[in-house]
Every structure is written in structure tokens, then in C-alpha cells.
Amino acid sequence: MLEQVLTEKRAALPVKITVKMLVSAIVIALAVLLPQVFHAALGAQGGTAWLPMYLPVLLGGCLLGTWWGLGVGLLAPLVSFAVTSLAGNAMPAAARLPYMMAELAVFAAVAGAFSGKILENGWMAFPAVLLAQTAGRLSFLALAAIFQGVSPLSAAAAWAQIEAGLLGLFVQAVAVPLLVMGLRLLLIRKK
């Protein structure tokens, strides 16, 4: 969505890269901060139920497109792990980190694949988010099943985590598209 808007405004390549880097940094910062807020307010179960890191990553995918979204999806859990490890409370846990990086990369890349369509029709944010959530959660489950023999995370444990996060996914399936539609209106108004 941002790419198309910047192209229509005839923004130079350095401007496009700067804008995308800034938006990516904001999304990653939100992906680090939101889980901290949820864990502080609701405990560890708050993060499991509401999946606060997923919201900014989905938003980033819709705004940034497939490739930049993929980068945000990979970096958000990694940066969160690095920053929170310094504080002595790594989030996500080291055993969950590679799964979360893969899952959020899929979330953002799939949502990003709809970026151009969302600019044309804001309502496309709804199927973008739903398909991203489905693909991401299925990739998590598949990876857990494939690597359960060498990983502490089994497919059954992954399924339990998916079930525990259904409420968060539902809320995000409504909230993220509405946020994206609002941002879209701001962006096209300034065209």
C-alpha cells in the first residue's frame, strides 16, 4: 500500500526506502512494546490469549507489502527476544523463537501480498488478515509437527497454543482491517 502511494507521489527511491524503514521500525517497536504491556497487565496468559505481537506484524504486512512485511515478521520476534533478554525475561522464549519468526514472517508476507488490492479497495484488508492468520498458524503447526522429534515443542503443544490464541486472532481479524482501512483513507486523501 505504501509502495503504491509513494510511487503515485513520484517519490524518489531513497525517500521510499526511508519511509519504509521508518514504518518498519515503528512496527517492530510496537511488536516489542505491546507484549510487554499485555504481560504486565494480564500476566503470561495475556500474551498467549491476545497475541499482541501479531497485531503490529499484520498491520506492517498490509502497509509494507510482501517483502518488507516478511522482513518485519522475521525481525519483530528476534528484536523482542534480544531486547527482553537483556532485561532477563526473554520474550518469546528461546525454544519458541524460531517458530514465531517463521509464523510471523508468513503472517506479514501473506498480508503483504494483498497490499496493492487493499489500496484499491480497503475491504480487502479483511480477507488479507484472515488468510494471513490461517497461513501463519498452519505454518506454526506444520513446523511443530515436523520438528517435534528434535524440539521441545510438539504438535499437540502447538495446537494448544493455537486454541489459546483464538480470541486474540478473532479480535485482530476485526481490529487490524479497520486500522488498515483508516490508514488507507488518510493515505489516499493526501494523494
What is the full DSSP assignment across 98-158?
Answer: HHHHHHHHHHHHHHHHTHHHHHH-GGGHHHHHHHHHHHHHHHHHHHHHHHTTTSS--HHHH
145-187 confidence digits (pLDDT tens): 999 999 999 999 999 999 999 999 999 999 999 999 999 999 9
**8 A C-beta contact, residue 49 and residue 165:** yes
The percentage of residues in the chain with a pLDDT greater than 70, rounded to a whole number, is 99
Give the HSE-up count for residue 130: Cα atoms under 13 Å, Cβ half-sphere: 7
What pLDDT does 85 receive? 96
Give per-residue burial for 149-161: e unless 16+ CB within 10 Å, then b.
eebebebeebeeb
Give the HSE-up count for residue 90: Cα atoms under 13 Å, Cβ half-sphere: 11
Q: Which three cell numbers stand for residue 98?
A: 524460531
Q: Is the pLDDT of residue 189 over 90?
A: no
Pick the closest to residue 169 from 140, 138, 134, 142 (CA basis).
134
Confidence of residue 6 (pLDDT cuts 50, 70, 90): very high
CATH topology of domain 2-189: Arp2/3 complex 21 kDa subunit ARPC3 (1.10.1760)
Give the list of residues 6+ apart from residue 110 with CB closer than 8 angstroms, or none: 61, 128, 131, 132, 135, 136
**What predicted TM-score, i.e. pTM, was given to this entire model?**
0.95
Report the 3 state secondary structure along 38-75. HHHHHCHHHHHHHCCCHHHHHHHHHHHCHHHHHHHHHH
21-77 confidence digits (pLDDT tens): 999 999 999 999 999 999 999 988 888 899 999 999 999 999 999 999 999 999 999
Confidence of residue 190 (pLDDT cuts 50, 70, 90): low
